[in-house]
């Protein structure tokens, strides 16, 4: 399937990763949008859903922020298994996992069409600058 998948208005995508960005949890909404089963996602790098049109600087900002122990929020275009994409407004929180190790929790909601349009243009500029 290719083209854009649109989140439901009430979808709330959640995933957790370890300190290296390896997926340790994903909720049903995340699995459904990404097109993967939970078993396919567990143990994979979160970059499994990274879309090629996302500029590297956006992820550098995310990682620099959460590794300082701060919360990051921003707009992300994710890839879908087998083709296609979807947009989210993501908030990523550093947290301590049950075993005491560092991890990251990402919660995502549906962005507005205006927010998507604004960030598509911005990200095209950033990609050209790479």
pLDDT in tens, 96-125: 988 899 999 999 999 999 999 999 999 989
Examine the pLDDT at 58 and tell me if it is beyond 60.
yes
Name the burial class of residue 98, with classes exposed (0-12), middle (13-18) and buried (19+) by CB atoms within 10 angstroms of its CB: exposed
> Tell me, what's the pLDDT at 130?
86
**pLDDT of 1 over the 70 cut:** no
3-state secondary structure of 48: helix
Structural domain of residue 107, as residue ranges? 13-129
Write out the H or E segment, with its range, that includes residue 94.
strand 85-96
What confidence score (pLDDT) does residue 65 get?
A: 96
Residue 32 lies in a domain: yes
Q: pTM, whole model, 2 decimals?
A: 0.91
Q: How far apart are the first and last CA of the chain?
A: 29
CA–CA distances in Å: residue 106 to residues 5, 100, 121, 128: 19, 18, 24, 27
Q: Beta strand 85-96 with 23-26: parallel, antiparallel or unpaired?
A: unpaired
Name the residue among 73, 92, 76, 91 with its Cα closest to residue 21. Answer: 92
Q: Report if residue 91 sits inside a domain.
A: yes
Would you state the pLDDT for residue 128? Answer: 87
Q: pLDDT for 6-24, tens place per residue?
A: 999 999 999 999 999 999 9
Per the CB < 8 A criterion, the answer to whether 12 and 33 are in contact is no
Q: Residue 67 domain-assigned?
A: yes
What is the pLDDT, as a whole number, of residue 97? 85
Does the residue 1 lie in any domain? Answer: no
What is the per-residue pLDDT across 22-56, written as a single tens digit (0 to 9) for each? 999 999 999 999 999 999 999 999 999 999 999 99
Model pLDDT, residue 10? 94
Query: What's the number of domains the chain is made of?
Result: 1
Q: Are 80 and 86 in contact (CB under 8 A)?
A: yes
């Amino acid at each position: 399937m290719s083209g854009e998948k649109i989140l439901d208005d009430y979808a709330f995508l959640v995933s957790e990763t370890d300190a290296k960005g390896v997926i340790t949890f994903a909720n049903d909404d995340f699995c459904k949008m990404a097109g993967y089963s939970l078993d396919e996602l567990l143990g994979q790098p979160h970059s499994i859903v990274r879309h090629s049109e996302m500029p590297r600087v956006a992820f550098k900002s995310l990682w620099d922020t959460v590794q300082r122990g701060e919360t990051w929020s921003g707009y992300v275009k994710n890839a879908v298994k087998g083709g296609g994409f979807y947009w989210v407004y993501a908030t990523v929180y550093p947290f301590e996992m049950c075993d005491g190790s560092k991890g990251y929790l990402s919660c995502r909601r549906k962005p507005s069409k205006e927010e998507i349009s604004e960030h598509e243009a911005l990200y095209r500029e950033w990609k050209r600058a790479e």
